[in-house]
Chain A
Amino acid sequence: MAGWREQRGKAVLLPMANIDTDQLIPARFMSTPRAEGYGRFLLHDVRRTSEGALDPAFPLNAHPDACILVAGRNFGSGSSREAAVYALVDAGVRVVVAPSFGDIFAGNAVNNGLLPARVSEADAELLVRTLSSGAAPGHADLTSGLLHIAGVSLPFQLDEVWRTKLLNGWDDIDLTRQHAADIAAYRARLVSEPGRFPFGGAG
C-alpha cells in the first residue's frame, strides 16, 4: 500500500446515516477474488431502483468519479467485512467524511489507504448544505488535518497512529517483526499459565 499526503478530487454528498457494510457491499458478492475488482459492487443495491436499473437520482450514479464522500453518522457500521473498504477504494474513493464511523470499518479503511475523516456534527451539516446543490472539488490534507470542499475549510479528527500509517503506507506485518524478540519472550512465559494453550495442544 502506498502512502499519501493529500488527495484532490470530486467531493460528493451521500446524505444518509448508518450506511452499514451490508449496504456498502451486499454479501452475495463477497466470494469474488479481489483481483477481479470490487468497485462495481459499491452500494450495489442502494444505487439501483427495485427494477435493477441505476437510479439517476443517486449521487454516485451522477458522479462515479467521486474521490471524497460526505456521509451521515455511523458510516461503515455492522460487519467486519473488509470488502466494504475494497469496494470504496476500487471505485476510486480515497476519503470518507462523516461525524462517526464503525470502529472495525475505520481500522479496515486505514489498512487500505482510505481516510475516515471524522468531523463535528455542525461541520457535517455545513458540508451537507455546501454540497446539496451538487458535487464540488475537494481536497484532504493529512499533514494539516484539514478538508477544503467547495471553498469551505474545516478540520477533521484522526488518530495519530492512523495518520502516520496513511502517510507512510506501512505494512503492519513488517513493523511487528521488529518486535520479534518481545513476542518470543511473551510466548515463552505463557507455557506456565494454565489455559493459555488449548488442552492437548502444543505449548
Chain B
Amino acid sequence: MNAPLTLLDRLWSIHEVHRGADGASLLWVDRHLVHEGSHHAFARLAERGLPVVEPGLTFAVVDHYAPTRRAGPIADPAIARMIDTLRGNAARHGLRLFDLNDPDQGIVHVVGPEQGLTLPGLLITCGDSHTSTHGAFGALAFGIGATEVAHVLATQTIWQRKPQAMRITVDGALPAGVSAKDIALNWIARLGADGAQGHAVEYAGSAIRSLSMEGRMTLCNLTIEGGGRMGMVAPDEVSFAYLRDRPYAPRGDDWQKALHNWHALASDADARFDRDVALSAEQIAPIVTWGTSPEQALPIDASVPDPETLPPTKVQAARAALDYMGLAPGRPLAGTPVDQVFIGSCTNGRIEDLRAAAAVLAGRKARVPGLVSPGSAQVKAQAEEEGLDRVFTEAGLDWVASGCSMCVGMNGDLVAAGKRCASSTNRNFRGRQGKGARTHLMSPAMVAAAAVTGTLCDVRPLLQGRVL
C-alpha cells in the first residue's frame, strides 16, 4: 500500500522535473505572472541577452503602479516610466499584457483566476508575496524574488526545497458579519506572523468548504502574513463552477478530462501533516489589528492590550507598535476615531467584498472620506451593473479604477503621516500605506462600518435587519 499523500505532495510531484542530490527540486512553472515591479528581472535577462523562454505561459499585468484615476496623462514621471518599462518588456518578448485600459486589467491575483489562467493543479509564480492567493483553487502558488523571476523567465522552472505541510481546519458555521478575513487574522494572531514559516498551509473543514471562491482567495492570500509562502484549498464543485467558461480555461472534452484530474487533487484522509491546527468557526468574531504586524490583532470588542501583560518576547514590539499607532493601553478598540477608509486590494477587492461593504453602507453616509478601488476592471463593471458604485458614492466615498492602490501606495494613493485608516488590505506594517500612516486591517464589512461611524466598531449591529 502506498503511503498517504497530502495535497502538497501531489502538487509537488506533478511539477518535479528533477531532484538534486541535495534535496532541492527543479519544478516546472505553468503560469508566470509579471507586473511593473518585475523590471529588475527583465533587466537581468537583458544583461545576459536571454529571451523569455515560454512567452505563452507568461502574462503581464499593470497593477502596482496603476493610477486609480485614469483620465489624463500620468503626472508622476517615475510612475509613467514603470508602466512604460513593463509595456516595452511585454512587447519585446511577445507577452499578453493586461494594460491600463484593457477591460480585463486588474490586480494580478484577481486577474489570474478571473481569466482562468489559475487552475487546479497548476504551479503559479509571480514576483509578489500574495501569489499564495491562487492556491485557493488547489494550485501550488507562491511569491518569488527578482532573481527567481529572471530564472523562471529564462527557464520556465524554479528550484525549491519542499516546505513542510501544515493544515488549518476550520469547522462549523461562520456567524453573520464574520468572513474569511476574520478567520485569517484569527489564526495569525494566535500563531504569530511567523507561525507558518517554512510550511505550506492547506485549509480544510466545513467552514472552508462553505466559503465562496472569493473567501478562499482571501484566506490563501493572507497565508503569507502568517509566514506561509503557500496556502491551498482542495478544489471542489465551488472551484469548478467558478472556472467554467473563463477565457483561458479548458473547453469541451478538455474541460471534462481536466475535471477528472482535478477531482484527485486532495489530501488523503489519513495523510500526515507536520503541523495540524483546528479552529471553531463559531468562536471567531470580527477582528481588527491594533499594531504594526498582522499578528497584533484582537476581536473588535477587546481593549488595546497593555504591553506589560504580554509574553516577554512580544512586549517591546507591542510598546513600539502602540507608540507608532498612537493608541493607549486599556482603551476599548471600538470607538477609536479613524480619519479615512480604504476598500480594495488583492486581499479584499473582489465582487463579494464590495457587496459585503455595500450591504453596510446602503442608505447610510460615511463620516470620513475613503477610497473604493475594485480589484479588476471586470469587478468594477460587475459592481456598477449591480449598482454598488452608487451605494459607495451616495455614502460619500470615492469610486475609482482598479489597481493595488492604497494597499501599498506605489501609485500615489497614500495615507498621510499620522492619519488612521481602516483598511481591507493585508499589511499594517509601519509606513506601508505611506510614511507615518496608521493602518488597521479588517474585513470589508468592518471597513464599511468604520466609515459609517467614523470609528473602529463592530459591524454586526449595523447588519441587523439587512439582507446579506
Q: Given A50-B417, A104-B229, A161-B23, are A31 and B56 also a contact pair (CB < 8 Å)?
A: no
* B427/A22 in contact, CB under 8 A: yes
Kindly specify which of B192-200, B268-276, B300-308, B334-342 makes contact with the partner chain: B192-200
Other-chain contact of B56, A18, A183, A202 (Cβ < 8 Å): A202
Other-chain contact of A195, B40, B155, B258 (Cβ < 8 Å): B258
* A160/B431 in contact, CB under 8 A: no
Residue in A100, A195, A197 with the greatest tally of chain B CB atoms within 10 Å: A195
Other-chain contact of A164, B22, B131, B148, B314 (Cβ < 8 Å): B22
* B40/A34 in contact, CB under 8 A: yes
Interface string of B209-234 (1 = CB under 8 A from A): 00000000000000010011100000
* B18/A179 in contact, CB under 8 A: yes
* 8 Å CB interface, A12-49 against B: 15-18, 20, 22-23, 26-28, 30-31, 33-34, 45-46
> Is B204 in contact with chain A by the CB < 8 A criterion?
no
* A172/B151 in contact, CB under 8 A: yes
* A182/B18 in contact, CB under 8 A: yes
Residues in A neighbouring B23, C-beta threshold 8 A: 160-161
Interface string of A165-203 (1 = CB under 8 A from B): 000000011011101001100110010011111111110
Interface string of A72-105 (1 = CB under 8 A from B): 1110011111110100000000000000111110
Complex Cα spacing A15 to B320, Å = 12
Residues in A neighbouring B150, C-beta threshold 8 A: 173
Nearest CB in chain A to that of B317: its residue: A17
> Is B299 in contact with chain A by the CB < 8 A criterion?
no
> Is B247 in contact with chain A by the CB < 8 A criterion?
yes
Within the complex, what minimum Cβ distance (angstroms) separates B456 from chain A? 22
* A173/B128 in contact, CB under 8 A: no
> Is B69 in contact with chain A by the CB < 8 A criterion?
no
Complex Cα spacing A183 to B24, Å = 15
Kindly specify which of B3-11, B249-257, B346-354, B443-451 makes contact with the partner chain: B249-257
Nearest CB in chain B to that of A185: its residue: B17
Between A and B, how many residue pairs show CB distances below 8 Å?
A: 202
Other-chain contact of A45, B79, B224, B292, B435 (Cβ < 8 Å): B435
Within the complex, what minimum Cβ distance (angstroms) separates B46 from chain A? 12
Residues in A neighbouring B142, C-beta threshold 8 A: 104
Interface string of B310-350 (1 = CB under 8 A from A): 00011011001000000000000000000000000000000
Chain B interface bracket (under 10, 10 to 19, 20 to 34, 35 or more): 35 or more
Total chain A interface residues with beta-carbon distance under 8 A: 63
Nearest CB in chain A to that of B82: its residue: A31
* 8 Å CB interface, B139-159 against A: 142-148, 150-151, 154-157, 159
> Is B92 in contact with chain A by the CB < 8 A criterion?
no
* A31/B145 in contact, CB under 8 A: no
> Is A107 in contact with chain B by the CB < 8 A criterion?
yes
Complex Cα spacing A4 to B158, Å = 24
* B250/A161 in contact, CB under 8 A: no
Complex Cα spacing A88 to B261, Å = 45
Residues in A neighbouring B119, C-beta threshold 8 A: 195
Q: Is chain A's interface secondary structure helix, strand, loop, or mixed overall?
A: loop
* A194/B229 in contact, CB under 8 A: no
Other-chain contact of A27, B127, B147, B409 (Cβ < 8 Å): B409
* B194/A100 in contact, CB under 8 A: yes
Complex Cα spacing A101 to B145, Å = 15
Q: Given A23-B429, A73-B194, are A80 and B145 also a contact pair (CB < 8 Å)?
A: yes
* A107/B145 in contact, CB under 8 A: yes
* A31/B81 in contact, CB under 8 A: yes
Within the complex, what minimum Cβ distance (angstroms) separates A26 from chain B? 5
Complex Cα spacing A82 to B253, Å = 42
Other-chain contact of B254, A18, A78, A107, A194 (Cβ < 8 Å): A194
Residues in A neighbouring B427, C-beta threshold 8 A: 20, 22, 78-79
Residue in B147, B154, B198, B320 with the greatest tally of chain A CB atoms within 10 Å: B147
Q: Given A103-B227, A198-B248, are A18 and B193 also a contact pair (CB < 8 Å)?
A: yes
Complex Cα spacing A111 to B150, Å = 11
> Is B116 in contact with chain A by the CB < 8 A criterion?
yes
* 8 Å CB interface, B21-50 against A: 22-24, 26, 28, 30-31, 37, 40, 43, 48, 50
Other-chain contact of A176, B157, B197, B228 (Cβ < 8 Å): B157
* A199/B250 in contact, CB under 8 A: yes
> Is A120 in contact with chain B by the CB < 8 A criterion?
no
Residues in B neighbouring A82, C-beta threshold 8 A: 40, 127, 145-147
What are 13 A-B pairs with beta-carbon distances under 8 A? Answer: A16-B317, A27-B410, A28-B409, A31-B79, A45-B436, A74-B227, A77-B194, A80-B129, A103-B163, A172-B151, A179-B26, A195-B119, A198-B56
Which residues from chain A sit less than 8 Å from chain B, CB to CB? 15-18, 20, 22-23, 26-28, 30-31, 33-34, 45-46, 50, 72-74, 77-83, 85, 100-104, 107-108, 111-112, 121, 159-161, 164, 172-173, 175-177, 179, 182-183, 186-187, 190, 193-202
